Amino acid sequence: MILEIAQIDIKQGAEDEFEDGVRKAAALFKRAKGCKGLELQRSIERPSRYRLLVQWETLENHTIDFRSSADFQEWRKLVGHCFTQPPAVEHTQLSVKGF
């Protein structure tokens, strides 16, 4: 399992619009090949900063399958105008599970 972590900084005042866009986009991710889950976390210290956490079966499910899809373009239409800059994205995989 691969975890995509996208740090997304949102224009001040566009937080509600961004969150609504993510809610609408959940269906796009749900039907994406290899996508196993999505959640959005909001920073307490920096309320205009979010982390989008998406679980993928493989790295390619995100980087190739989803990013080359029409659904990715729709995702960006729903939320891209809220970004202050492109998201910082990294992928991780579990190395240790404590409990």
Q: What is the pLDDT of residues 48-72, one digit of tens each?
A: 999 999 999 999 999 999 999 999 9
The CATH number of residue 24's host domain is 3.30.70.100
Predicted pLDDT of residue 86 = 97
Q: Is the pTM of this model over 0.85?
A: yes
Is residue 12 included in any domain, yes or no?
Answer: yes
Is residue 71 included in any domain, yes or no?
Answer: yes
Evaluate whether 58 touches 39 at the Cβ level (below 8 Å). no
Where in the sequence is the domain holding 38, given as residue range(s)?
7-50+57-92
What total of structural domains would you count in the chain?
Answer: 1
Is residue 64 included in any domain, yes or no?
Answer: yes
Predicted pLDDT of residue 84 = 98
Query: DSSP of the chain, one letter per residue?
Result: -EEEEEEEEB-TT-HHHHHHHHHHHHHHHHTSTTEEEEEEEE-SSSTTEEEEEEEESSHHIIIIIITTSHHHHHHHHHHGGGBSS--EEEEE--S----
Please state, rounded to an integer, the average pLDDT across all residues of the chain: 98
Distance CA 88, CA 7 (A): 5
Is residue 15 included in any domain, yes or no?
Answer: yes
